[in-house]
Amino acid sequence: MWPYSEKVLKTLKYAYQPGLNAIELNAPEADLLSIIGASKIPLSHYAGPASMIEVDFPPGEVVSGEYDPGSDTLFEVCAGQLFELGEKDQVDIIFAAGNEDREQLIKAYMEALQNPEMIYKNSVKHYEDLQNNMLSITTPDENFNKGYAWAVAATDRFFVETPGLGTSLVAGYNGTDRGWDGGHKVNGRPGYAWYFGRDAVWSAFAVLDYGDYEGVKDILNMFIKYQDLNGKIFHELSTSGFVHYDASDATPLFIILAGRYLIYSGDREYIRSIWPAIEKAIQYCESTDTDGDGLIENTNVGHGWVEGGHLFGSHTSLYLASCWAEALINASFIEKDKHFSEQLVFRINFRERRMQVQEMIKRDFYNPTTQFMYQGLYKDGSYHMEQSILPSIPMYFKYLNVENTKHMLKTYASHEYSSDWGVRMASIHNPKYHPRGYHSGAVWPLYTGWVALAEYNNRPLQGFSHIMSNLNNYRDFSLGYTEEVLNGEKYLPSGVCPHQCWSETMVLQPIIEGLLGLKPSGYSHKLEFSPNVPFSWNYIKVMNIKTGSNSVNWGMRKESGKTTYTFTGFEENEEFLFSPLFMPGTAIRKVLVNGEETGYDTLLEDQGMQLRVCWGNDANPEIIVMHQGGISLIPPIEKPEKGEQSHGIRIIDASWENNIYTIETEGAAGMQYELEVISNFGAPKSIDGATFTHEGNRLYLEVSFPAVNREYRRKTITLSF
């Protein structure tokens, strides 16, 4: 297996085993054994050096042999079996492989051969248990429901146990190729099917969100097992045991994951047991600050997040500085826990340091001229001027002033960055833009998810559009799975893996943390819940919201002028903070908790009004909100065809002020679009920038863009009431 060359093995043995109906392949120097057979006796079979076999039946049978390649250019054995099947016959093909005891491998093969239905039933049970025990969502949108459920199942498939190494998430799956674009003669790279540091952490955030705490503990254990002596966390660990440490972000990300695991699960004893590894990771990060400015560094440490290209080269990148600030706040949380006070050796004021780094990010990395963040800081104190979507990371962590994010988020929503199927890393106006460049123009579901997480701080319309760009990918290319990378110009795959781990998890994380607004804490027995449910959904049901060992269920039902929320599963000692979002312009008439009127607060946001509900000690309340008015655009969801270029409408902004609803749009030249608006105010007195029809509480806007030379143009629509 990659990265070893074909020269590692000297001999391949092969033989047909009649008692197993199988061909056995053996590499004795490495104790590697494969058995490939079937539930029927073959009419004929063959095996031999691949260069000597013509795969046309009926071949001459080879009972056994030994292959020393000598001067042969291909070191491969080819094997096959021929079966005669009637119209209703069935045959099971069994593959078993290992590097341990031969008798145990034969036993596993025979168990599969004698009872293949049990393998199927075990698989069904696994995914039924996953569906029943992890966070699940039911909405009026069947496509959303199916896409979410697929993403949970597809994420779970990345947990791989390698004997002798451990269990963690691998990064991506593909058929083995001959090295990088055919670079190896024989053995191939299995997509990205080995263990990555940064990939596993970003993916583990979603795994925490949907409630698989044991899986996250496996990931942490793998990091600790292969932590370098200096405290650094690995970047890549192949399933063949090759490990290297050439990334700067894996170590602070490990600290973040450990802190989040403690917050979500409340598992103090486990975090206490791994504190020495966390402390070593903190010490390592601190040691990379060679100039004493409080920022950890990329120089002589590693890449993070970009490995090369026009975005590479910072002494400290904005992304790395943001990860360090978040690592410090999680280290502060762990340190303050009373269980650790007696064993702390290495002490710094984590919270104070985090505030220092956060202030540097807000003050020093912001360019008021361009209203964008700098890409990074150079060693001479100057700034890396390139623009990208990476400022979405400090936005997600809430390190930036809301006013300073508006221009960037509007730009990300525009055709400059957003295609009909997701978000590019770099602007199409960048001179180094290339639609297939990993960091210079391709669309990664990862980037789209990062931007969606940033948008859900105060721009849920754009956040939902980007969620659906990722979610809808499951239908088109890999039959249920999410691609690693898509072309920046045409809706086509452009990466190595048709099934990528953090692509799957970036379907989930913006849904759970953004759309549902969940912030569970099993540590403090608290659930912060700020749902940003699309205003067009009249119900939602969410099961298995995990807070520590507890599991909570939530439902919403919406009627005219009335929204009802129900909860089950809360324990009496749990604190609950509930802040649902309503359409802008909504007036709250009253709030009832279990039939009794209660107090509430409201907070106006750019695209809605947040209601903050207060109540007494009722563990599982029914909350009824009586309201009137409200208006909102329903975010358009693009559904491109394979190979198409982007031509969908972009929603740059939407706002309600002084009885005027303003929608800032961007459309392709010569195109006409229909937008749907929920209006509980009836028809507008006047409209500018579009025409409309009115049905019930829906307005259907027709907006046209003139056919001029520019690919996309801006148009503002105003509805006056």
Domains parsed from the chain with CATH numbers: 6-114 (no CATH), 128-155+409-515 (no CATH), 520-579+584-629 (2.60.40.1180), 638-720 (2.60.420)
Residue 43 burial class via C-beta count within 10 angstroms: exposed 0-12, middle 13-18, buried 19 and up: exposed
* Cis amide leading into 275 (omega within 30): no
**Where residue 571 falls among pLDDT bands split at 50, 70, 90?**
confident
> Which of 47-56, 507-516, 574-583 reaches the highest mean pLDDT?
507-516
pLDDT at 28 over 90: no
Calculate the CA dihedral of residues 370, 428, 413, 540 and round it to 10 degrees: -140
What's the CA gap between 302 and 347, in Å, rounded?
A: 26
DSSP tally for the chain: helices H, then strands E:
15, 41
DSSP reduced 3-state for 689: coil
Q: What is the CA radius of gyration of the chain?
A: 28
Give per-residue burial for 546-565: e unless 16+ CB within 10 Å, then b. bbbebbbbbbbebeeeebeb
pLDDT for position 418? 98
> The tokens of 238 are what?
């192949």
Average pLDDT of the chain to the nearest whole number: 91
Answer yes or no: is pLDDT of 344 > 50. Answer: no
Q: Is 290 left (phi over 0), alpha (psi -120 to 50) or beta?
A: alpha
Name the token pair of 11: 């001999």
End-to-end CA distance of the chain: 67
Q: Residue 631's closest CA among 680, 597, 671?
A: 680
**Distance of alpha carbon 194 from alpha carbon 172, whole angstroms:** 8
HSE-up (13 A, CA, CB side) for residue 113: 20
d(CA 197, CA 202): 9
Q: How many residues are given for the chain?
A: 721
Looking at residue 171, its amino acid is: A
Sign of the alpha-carbon dihedral angle for 318, 321, 323, 329: negative
pLDDT of residue 590: 96
- Rounded Cα distance, 123 and 200, in Å: 24
DSSP code at position 513: I
Rounded to the nearest 5 degrees, what angle is found at the Cα of 44, between the Cα atoms of 43 and 46? 160
Mean pLDDT across 282-308? 95
Q: Tokens representing 543?
A: 């099961």
Instruction: Decide if 613 contacts 650 (C-beta within 8 A).
Output: no
The mean pLDDT value for 311-319 works out to 97
- Using one digit for the tens of pLDDT, what is the confidence trace for 170-209? 999 998 766 555 566 655 678 899 999 999 999 999 999 9
Tokens of 490: 């045409």
Closest CA to 423 of 409, 437, 444, 440: 444
One-letter amino acid at 577 equals L
CB-count burial class (<10 Å; 0-12, 13-18, 19+) for 603: exposed
For residue 58, is pLDDT > 60? no
3-state SS assignment for residue 371:
coil
Element (H, E) at 688: strand 686-688
Each residue's pLDDT tens digit, 71-130: 555 667 788 888 889 999 989 999 999 887 889 999 999 999 999 999 999 999 999 999
Q: At what angle do helices 275-287 and 250-265 cross, to 10 degrees?
A: 140
pLDDT at 643: 96
- How far is 146 from 393, CA to CA, in rounded Å? 28
CA separation (Å) from 687 to 655, 692, 703? Answer: 15, 8, 11
What kind and span of H or E run contains 284?
helix 275-287
Q: Quick one: which of 372, 448, 363 has its CA closest to 411?
A: 372
Note the pLDDT of residue 346: 47
Which has more pLDDT, 59 or 581? 581
Residue-level pLDDT at 141: 98
Buried b (16+ CB within 10 A) or exposed e, 253-284: bbbbbbbbbbbbbbbeebbeebbebbbbbbeb
User: Could you give the CA distance from residue 375 to residue 365 in angstroms, rounded to a whole number?
Assistant: 8
Given strand 550-559, what is the order of strands in its sheet? 136-138, 539-547, 550-559, 562-568, 622-629, 586-593, 596-597
Q: What percent of the chain has pLDDT over 90?
A: 77
Region for residue 594 given its phi and psi (left: phi exceeds 0; alpha: psi -120 to 50; beta: otherwise):
left
Using CA atoms, how far residue 553 sits from 103, 511, 528, 530, 575, in Å, is: 48, 16, 14, 15, 15
Residue of higher predicted confidence among 579 and 7 = 579
Residue with tokens 């990379």: 288
Asked whether the CA dihedral 321, 323, 324, 326 is positive or negative, the reply is positive
Band of residue 301 on the pLDDT scale cut at 50, 70, 90: very high
Does residue 160 contact residue 170 with C-beta atoms inside 8 Å? yes
pLDDT digits (tens, 9 = 90+) for 372-429: 999 999 999 999 999 999 999 999 999 999 899 999 999 999 999 999 999 999 999 9
Helix (H) / strand (E) containing 560 = none
Amino acid identity, position 333? F
Question: In a 10 Å sphere around its CB, with 0-12 CB exposed, 13-18 middle and 19+ buried, how is residue 423 labelled?
Answer: buried
User: Residue 400: which region, alpha, beta or left (left: phi > 0; alpha: psi -120 to 50)?
Assistant: beta
Residue pLDDT, tens place only, 215-270: 999 999 999 999 999 999 999 999 888 999 999 999 999 999 999 999 999 999 99
What is the CA angle 245-248-249, rounded to 5?
Answer: 110
Q: Answer whether residue 345 shows pLDDT above 50.
A: no
Average pLDDT over residues 555-581: 91
Classified as helix, coil or strand, 128 is: helix
- Sign of the alpha-carbon torsion through 666, 670, 671, 677: positive
Helix (H) / strand (E) element for 356: namely helix 350-364
Residue 582, both tokens: 């309503």
